[in-house]
Amino acid sequence: MMDENDALEDFDVLDENLDSTPADAPIPRTLLALCILTFVGSAFILFKDFITYQILEGEADLPMVYAAEVIACLGSVVAGILMLLRKMAGFYIYVAGNILYIAAILWYWLGIMNFDLNPWTMILIFAYVAAPIGFIIMYSYHKKYLH
């Protein structure tokens, strides 16, 4: 049985390919958890948009915002699937989709509120913008597992 000291002895600081991983290595659990959370979050946002649009009966203030959110969420789902398959394209699709999502959120909040923001609105905007940025940062730490 290999202990921690044996693993450190096999570690070569001068190895040029420290960030490379074999294609058949198991997917890291944290990457799997991020992908699952992406699927759940995207489903929640799609459900929220569907219900909101139904309540407003198509009279949404900015229907393009809802369309942008739906496109961003579907892009995130596709990106999550690609990252589970260890494709680097999934990361870039995820980043592009979340930039679109952040732009849609800011467009909605700042367009509707006309810069008349109270502290609670600012907290909501921060939460809606911070979560995608946090996920992009966490996914970027796992780029070494994508090919």
Q: Is the pLDDT of residue 110 over 60?
A: yes
pLDDT of residue 121: 77
Q: Mean pLDDT throughout 44-72?
A: 82
CA distances to 90, 102, 104, 105, 122 from 68, in Å? 19, 10, 6, 9, 21
Alpha-carbon span 46 to 102, nearest angstrom: 15
- Asked if 100 contacts 71 with a C-beta cutoff of 8 angstroms, the reply is yes
3-state SS, residue 2? coil
Is the pLDDT assigned to residue 15 strictly greater than 60?
no
Among 20-24, 48-52, 91-95, 114-118, which is the least confidently predicted range? 20-24
Judged against a pLDDT cut of 60, whether residue 45 lies above it is answered with: yes
Higher pLDDT, 104 or 139: 139
